[in-house]
Structure 1
Amino acid sequence: MSRWTLRTRLTVLYGVLFFLAGAVLLGLTYLLVQASLESQLSGSLDARAAALRAQGVPDGVLEQARRDQEALRDAALGSLLTQGGLALVGVGAAAAGLGWLVAGRALRPLHRITETAQRIAASSGRGLHERLALAGPRDEVRRLGDSFDAMLEQLDRSFDGQRRFVANASHELRTPLALNRALVELAVTRPEASADLRQLGTSLLEVNERHERLIDGLLTLADSENAVTTRSHVDLADVAARVASASMRRSLAPAPTSGDPVLIERLAQNLVDNAVRYNVPPGWVSVRTAVEGANAVLTVENTGPVVAAYEVESLFQPFRQLGDRRAGPDRGFGLGLSIVRAIAQAHGGTATATPRDDGGLIVKVSLPVGE
């Protein structure tokens, strides 16, 4: 019974309670009718027996009349029990059906809350703008729906504020980084610049470039957190052909989808860059595109260090890399797969990774097929 739905349990509860109440009512009716018949038949038999004896009727005839009256009483009581039981079963079945309908109607707001929560969970927080806005009297279910809407409002403001902060901070940091780069380039290109100054300038330019790439990654991640509204035709095979080098293993079958071409190209570029960065010689990188069911699929596979299955999901978290270690200055930022998943989800798709037994990863991005 623990696997039954709440609607089923409520219907069974309604039915059982109805049958119990009906059985009690039928039993009481039976006892009352039995007592009434016995009282009436007893008085009637006594009066008739006195009258018949006065007329000289033998006692055997009187006894037979008594037995006939008792048989008639028993038949009436049996008929009452049988017909009442059948009526109880019929009305109970009708009551159970009515209980099923009533339970479904009463649970409809809860189903709506569940469906909304599932849509928001499937969209990774992009559906926080949805509201239930339940109508009707302010009963317990209405208060639950209003509380759910208030929670969504708070979460929506929090997520939106976080995205705006990342985007604004990234934009604000771009200007001083660009200015720093210009000043360092100017300093190292002067004819009187010493060798030490040029070496220092080169190191500063590398640090500055790294910071610019970090800012670019944060901006891309913030932009990809929003659902794509303007879409155009994109073939994953064409995108993969642009980002994958000729030295890689390529199997590029047509895989049409729709979305933002810039974001999808960034997705493919990140996958290929990650596969190359964590490859180990004499390894290889494989890039494949195909249509699988209702999805256009891009798969990037590489050789590399062995990855434990429990570590795979952490690779999609920002600033996290293999072994649950923080990203370091010589190991990238740990934003690559985070951006890949964010872009895939913004297009209504998924991004998953599977470790290879002999080392490396198989990263698979599935996007809805487009025309």
Structure 2
Amino acid sequence: MLFSSNFGQQYRVIVQGTYLDPPAAGATAKPPLPNQVFTTTKDGTVLTGPAAEQAMQQQREQVRQAATKSLLTQGGIALVAVGALAAGFGWLVAGRVLAPLHRVTDTARRIAASPAALHERIALRGPDDEVKNLADAFDTMVERLDHSFDGQRRFVANASHELRTPLTLGRALVEVAMHRRTASADVQELGESLLAINARHEQLIDGLLILADSEKQLTTVYPVNLADVVDHVAGQLGGEAAAAGVEIIRGPGDAPTQGDALLLERLVHNLVQNGIRHNLPDGERWVRVLSRAAGQQVQIAVTNTGPEIPPYEVEALFKPFYRLGAERLVTGKGAGLGLSIVRSVAEAHGGTVSATPRPGGGLEVVVSLPIDPS
């Protein structure tokens, strides 16, 4: 029997002393040999005994190694191919399943970051499954909140407008009574008190109107450089600062952004005015106003000297009508809406506000707004 392998050799094997190749025609059959293994190589060399067994053992080892190598190579390639296909298929399936959830999450984050984003809806399209039901329920909730906040803003705006007329009329009547030639000193003193109270009410109403306007969605925005706003506000409040003995330190730097110029002016105005009014009674008194660009944002930083403010009271300063200490009284310096308006305007422009107490007294307020992409 000829036994061939992939390794370029052929062997003629005779096992148990019997020739496996049939005898040639007409030849006399040879008697069986003793039990031995015979092999014949390709070139006709006959190997017997241990040499034949060693040659066959080498062939078996070569066949085993070839089979092992083939199994590892082909198996590894198949494993990598199946793993890649499984990963790609899993990525596609997970992307299709999780994409609506990512959309819900992104919308919720935008709405939480700015009340002006309450007009947004997910409006998810697709099969009527659990994810779509979740998105529809979220849209219904946001729509009700939007109607509620919009009604509240309309009420504040309408009530403020309605109150302005009687206040204006009352101020005119008091001024007429005070300037009559027959008016006594008592009448004039009473008129001054009434005018001060009237001015305070007008200031409160103006603050409510601005607060209601700042919580609306900005429909039209224009390029605004906060450095120009800082210069303008510092000029406006220069007289009040000089009368109070407070120095305004300006450090305007280019800070281009986009937004409503009037609301941004009110934001800077409120910060600087708060810094002037809520300062030390004597000693070192100043307000520093800086505008700057910081990466993908622009910042307005207003720092002042003043009384010490506990860190746990800082966040409450941004609540409407909140005042510290004795300024909770009716005779306080403001209406308690200054920082509320600042935060509302900043959020309407996609920005943030942070405040930090200064060591030794005073406050540092930093407003960050998106930089103008152009």
User: Is contact 1:181-1:208 (8 Å) kept?
Assistant: yes
Q: 1:255 to 1:327 in 2, by over 3 A?
A: farther
Deviation at 1:248, TM superposition (A): 1.7
Contact 2:167 2:198 (C-alpha < 8 Å) held by counterparts? yes
Residue aligning to 2:94:
103
Matched residues in 2 for 1:342 and 1:260: separation?
Answer: 13
The residue aligned with 1:296 is: 298
Partner Cα separation in structure 1 for residue 361 and residue 298 of structure 2: 26
Q: Which residue of 2 aligns with 1:344?
A: 346
Q: Identity of aligned pairs, percent?
A: 60
Q: CA deviation at 1:154?
A: 0.5
User: What do you get for the CA RMSD once the two structures are aligned?
Assistant: 2.9
- SS, match of residue 330 in structure 1: coil
Q: Which residue of 2 is the match for residue 268 of structure 1? A: 268
Q: Judging changes above 3 Å, is the alpha-carbon distance between structure 1 residues 170 and 220 closer, same or farther for their aligned structure 2 residues?
A: same
Normalising by structure 1, what TM-score? 0.72
Map of 1:277 onto structure 2: 277
- Residues 91-136 of structure 1, C-alpha deviations (whole Å, 9 max, x = no match): 46643542332122112111110011011112x2211111111112
For 2:123, the equivalent position in structure 1 comes to 133
2:201 is the alignment partner of 1:211: yes
**1:254 and 1:210 mapped to 2: Cα distance?**
35
Matching residue of 2:110: 119
What is the aligned partner in structure 2 of residue 237 from structure 1? 227
Q: 2:300 is aligned with what amino acid?
A: L
**TM-score normalized by structure 2?**
0.72
Give the secondary-structure state (helix, strand or coil) at the position aligned to 2:116.
coil
Unaligned runs of 5+ in 2: 1-63
1:65 alignment partner in structure 2: none
Counterpart Cα distance in 1 of 2:254 and 2:118: 35
Q: CA deviation at 1:324?
A: 11
Q: Does 1:322 align with 2:313?
A: no
CA-to-partner distance for each residue in 1:250-277, whole Å, 9 max, x for gaps?
A: 2222323332222222111111110011
Match of 1:223 in 2: 213
**Contiguous gaps of at least 5 residues in structure 1:** 1-74
- Count of residues in Structure 1 that have an aligned counterpart in Structure 2: 298
1:150 correspondence with 2:152: no
CA contact (8 A) 1:240 1:268 kept: yes
Distance (Å, rounded) in 2 between the aligned partners of 1:89 and 1:254: 56
The answer for the alignment partner of 2:52 in structure 1 is none
Residue 208 of structure 1, CA deviation? 0.6
Work out the CA distance in 2 between the residues paired with 1:238 and 1:93: 58
- Partner amino acid for 1:202? E
8 Å CA contact 2:115, 2:348 repeated in 1: no
For the Cα contact (< 8 Å) 1:351–1:366, is it kept in 2? Answer: yes
Secondary structure of 1:216's counterpart equals: helix
C-alpha distance in structure 2 between counterparts of 1:330 and 1:188, whole Å: 25
CA distance in 1, matches of 2:325, 2:193: 29
**Is the Cα–Cα contact under 8 Å of residues 327 and 334 in structure 1 kept in the other structure?**
no
Return closer, same or farther for 1:215/1:335 CA change in 2, 3 Å cut-off.
same
Q: Is contact 2:203-2:335 (8 Å) kept?
A: no
Residue 157 to residue 353, structure 1, CA distance change in 2 (3 Å): same
AA aligned to 1:337 is L
Report which of the two has the higher share of helix. 1
Residues 128 and 153 in structure 1, CA contact (< 8 A), matched pair in contact too: yes
Q: Cα 1:255–1:97, aligned 2, differ >3 Å: closer, same or farther? A: closer
Instruction: Tell me which residue corresponds to 2:191.
Output: 201
- Which residue pairs with 1:310 in the alignment? 312
Bigger mean CA offset, 90-99 vs 111-120:
90-99
Q: In 2, distance between residues paired with 1:229 and 1:166?
A: 20
Instruction: Give the secondary structure class of the aligned counterpart of 1:136.
Output: coil
Letter in 1 for 2:122: L
CA contact (8 A) 1:311 1:323 kept: no
- In structure 2, how many angstroms separate the alpha carbons of the residues matched to 1:91 and 1:366? 50
Q: What is the SS of the residue equivalent to 2:115? A: coil
Contact 1:287 1:300 (8 Å CA) reproduced: yes
Q: For the structure 1 residues 265 and 93, does the alpha-carbon distance in structure 2 shift closer, same or farther, using more than 3 Å as the test?
A: closer
The aligned residue for residue 25 of structure 1 is none
Distance 1:232 1:92 in 2: 53
Q: Which amino acid aligns with 2:365?
A: V
User: Using a 3 Å threshold, how does the CA distance of structure 1 residues 252 and 158 change in structure 2: closer, same or farther?
Assistant: same
Task: Verify the 8 A CA contact 2:171 2:198 in the aligned structure 1.
Answer: yes
Q: Distance in 2 between matches of 1:168 and 1:100?
A: 54
2:365 alignment partner in structure 1: 363
Counterpart secondary structure, 1:126 = helix
Q: Name which one, 1 or 2, has greater alpha-carbon Rg.
A: 2
Q: CA deviation at 1:321?
A: 2.5
Q: How does 1:240-259 map to 2 (within 5 A)?
A: 240-244=230-234, 245=238, 247-259=247-259
- In the alignment, the residues of structure 2 paired with residue 232 and residue 125 of structure 1 have an alpha-carbon distance, to the nearest angstrom, of 21
Written as runs of structure 1 = structure 2, the 5 A alignment for 1:73-112 is: 91=82, 94-112=85-103
Question: Which SS does the other structure have where 1:190 is aligned?
Answer: coil
Looking at structure 2, the residues matched to 239 and 89 of structure 1 have their Cα atoms a distance apart, in angstroms, of 62
The amino acid that maps onto 1:252 is P
| 2:172 equivalent to 1:170 | no
Distance 1:240 1:327, change over 3 A: farther
Q: Secondary structure at the match of 2:288?
A: strand
